[in-house]
Structure 1
Amino acid sequence: MQMISGEDVHRLLGYPSLVAALKTAHRNPVYSAGEAILSEPADGDPERAFITLPAWQKDGLIGVKLVTVFPGNPSEHSARPANQGLYVCFDPTNGTPTLVADGTALTLRKTAADTALGIDFLASPDARTLLVLGAGALAPHVIEAALAVRPDLVRVQIWNRTLEKAERLAASLTFDGVSITAAADLADALPIADIVVSATMATEPLVRGALLKPGSHVNLIGSWRPDMRECDDDTIRRAELYTDSREACRDCGEFFQSIEKGLMSWDDIKADLFDLCRGDATSYLSGDGVTLFKNAGGAHLDLFTAQELLARHSAGL
């Protein structure tokens, strides 16, 4: 059995190769996937959770991600990540454990690559400005992954509820030919962004559809629960809607709340990554329309990422 550290997960899963691997994996997936969520018992903190995400791909791997969610961690003296975990793989022919990897690093890589694949299909090839909402652990990975699929980006702005945190992150990042700054006012930053990526814990909308630049792309990573929301009703009305998985997105606040309000139906989701990667749906079309991609995640994406990790580790890369 192979043990892979977080440092090696990041080293092995470069974004150009991981995005390409996810695109290939979506073309012919045959998998069984699930999710189980436990809250802290005995009237504990309702925000704390233990999540298991198992998946089994035909002729591929059996895998499960084990994740703890402790939202208070980053603000404590130890400053541990809010999400921590492990990923465990098993051989599908005999059930033998084959891999244990750092689940925190794998999740960061998977989530950023999933978002980048959405950007690659749905954002304008002429995009030059990226706006990232949120300055947490995922933000630098989102920026790096976006640059992997849109290398012509020349400006990155980072907005965070605490401006100082956005300023610290912006100052810590360096990419050749790219200006990276903190955005003090979200209302000023939204109208000039070609690509907007939101990675927050917001329960009230941050992205305002009326402010979006014609032809822009919105990519939402947060709002994985029905009570969470990162964009407003105007964004839903204005945008062509996409997601990574039609099945996984059904509990996401953007779509769940919009369905309840009668703003959309599930049939209004034009395509997911399976459709796009197989060529069964049209991706970006030039013009003034806005595209929206909901990154819902899912156990299958963790498994696809673990497959690439195991392949690159076994090849001695």
Structure 2
Amino acid sequence: MLIIPEEEIKKHLAYPRLIEALREIFPTEHTIPLRHHHFYKTPEGIENTLILMPVWNKNYMGMKQVTVAPANTKANMPSIFAQYILSDSKTGQPLVVMDATELTARRTACTSALAASYLCRENAENLLIIGGGKVAQHLAQAHLAVRSFKKINVWMRNAEKMNAFISDLRNQGISAEPVTDLEKTAREADLISCATPSETPIIQGDWLKPGTHLDLIGSYKPNTREADDTAIQRSSIFVDSRAGALHESGELALPLGRGIITENDVKADLVELIKGTHLGRTSNEEITLFKSVGLAIEDLAAALLIYKSHLR
């Protein structure tokens, strides 16, 4: 069984290649059982999450174990740790094991970019990134793989971390600016990509100008959300998975439970966008919203890209 180091994982998960790997694998035949969510409390009373995510197709089987510990950010640690095992689905033989923290962050950002390739205006110029965690660190790179943004702004609550985040992007050759006036910047943004664990809405629907694409990543529990009801009501809603996005995340589950939206308000999922069953954005004035909760097939796409690249 192979063990692939983190640096090699980064090398094999170039953003354009991963986006195309996701585009190819989503419409294929595969099985994703219901993921297991287990919530447990630390001695300090903080709730962490353990997630088990299996998936298989006729050739391969993958299993990811994820722990989400929101308080880690206070200790300058990633809030997400993950491990991945890729096996032969016919024999069950393990083929490779790898750290899946980087894999998870990159595939999440690239799934958002894949959705944006159908939902974000082609002439979009202003990208606003909200958040500074592991996933947010890949959003500029992923979105730049599908759109040519002229301005990239970043907002987060911690100014010191925001400046470090900006410095890291600039070291990668990406021009970005920190912002302190979130409302003003959001009103000017063409794409707002949000990756935070917030329990209260950060983005207000009244801020969204016609033609905005809203990319919501962070909410993964029924009591968390990044956008308010007005944003949900004003938007054409698209998801990675109806079953997950409508019920696992408070982003849509809370408005759904109060009757503000119905399940029929979801225009399409990612597979329907890729297959062309739904064309995605229909006008330059339409406000679009993509809500992702993360799917095991995304992990399999990334793991296979790493594994097959390693064997070459």
TM-score by length of 1: 0.93
Question: Structure 1 residues 177 and 9 mapped into 2: Cα distance closer, same or farther (>3 Å)?
Answer: closer
- Measured after TM superposition, the shift of residue 248 of structure 1 is 1.7
- Measured after TM superposition, the shift of residue 176 of structure 1 is 8.6
The answer for the alignment partner of 2:7 in structure 1 is 7
1:168 paired with 2:164, answer: yes
Match of 1:119 among 82, 99, 116: 116
1:91-111 Cα distance to aligned partner (Å, 9 max, x none):
012110001011101101111
Q: In the comparison of the two structures, how many residue pairs are matched?
A: 311
The answer for the alignment partner of 2:33 in structure 1 is 33
CA distance in 2, matches of 1:10, 1:144: 13
1:289-311 Cα distance to aligned partner (Å, 9 max, x none):
10000011022221222122222
**How does 1:47-66 map onto structure 2 within 5 Å?**
47-57=47-57, 59-66=58-65
Question: Structure 1 residues 42 and 183 mapped into 2: Cα distance closer, same or farther (>3 Å)?
Answer: closer
CA distance in 2, matches of 1:80, 1:161: 17
Contact 1:157 1:183 (C-alpha < 8 Å) held by counterparts:
yes
CA distance in 2, matches of 1:177, 1:251: 37
TM-score by length of 2: 0.94
Match of 1:209 among 205, 211, 233: 205
- Measured after TM superposition, the shift of residue 284 of structure 1 is 2.1
Moved over 4 A (4+): 41-44, 175-178
CA distance in 2, matches of 1:226, 1:194: 28
SS of 1:31 mapped into structure 2? coil
The answer for the alignment partner of 1:154 in structure 2 is 150
The answer for the alignment partner of 2:288 in structure 1 is 291
- Measured after TM superposition, the shift of residue 2 of structure 1 is 1.5
1:155-196 Cα distance to aligned partner (Å, 9 max, x none):
110011122322221122128985311110111111110000
CA distance in 2, matches of 1:165, 1:155: 20
- Measured after TM superposition, the shift of residue 44 of structure 1 is 6.8
**How does 1:236-275 map onto structure 2 within 5 Å?**
236-249=232-245, 250-275=247-272
**How does 1:41-190 map onto structure 2 within 5 Å?**
45-57=45-57, 59-76=58-75, 79-150=76-147, 152-174=148-170, 179-190=175-186
- Measured after TM superposition, the shift of residue 43 of structure 1 is 7.2
- Measured after TM superposition, the shift of residue 128 of structure 1 is 0.7
RMSD: 1.8
Match of 2:218 among 211, 218, 222: 222
The answer for the alignment partner of 2:307 in structure 1 is 310
CA distance in 1, matches of 2:174, 2:307: 33
Contact 1:34 1:55 (C-alpha < 8 Å) held by counterparts:
no
Q: Any unmatched runs of 5+ in structure 1? A: none
- Measured after TM superposition, the shift of residue 200 of structure 1 is 0.4
The answer for the alignment partner of 1:22 in structure 2 is 22
- Measured after TM superposition, the shift of residue 252 of structure 1 is 1.1
Contact 1:221 1:295 (C-alpha < 8 Å) held by counterparts:
yes
CA distance in 2, matches of 1:42, 1:197: 30
SS of 1:172 mapped into structure 2? helix
- Measured after TM superposition, the shift of residue 42 of structure 1 is 8.9
1:6-65 Cα distance to aligned partner (Å, 9 max, x none):
2111110111011011011112232233311233379773512322111112x2311110
Contact 1:155 1:178 (C-alpha < 8 Å) held by counterparts:
no
Residue identity matched to 1:32: I
CA distance in 2, matches of 1:178, 1:213: 25
SS of 1:149 mapped into structure 2? coil
Contact 1:153 1:178 (C-alpha < 8 Å) held by counterparts:
no
Contact 2:59 2:90 (C-alpha < 8 Å) held by counterparts:
no
Question: Structure 1 residues 217 and 41 mapped into 2: Cα distance closer, same or farther (>3 Å)?
Answer: closer
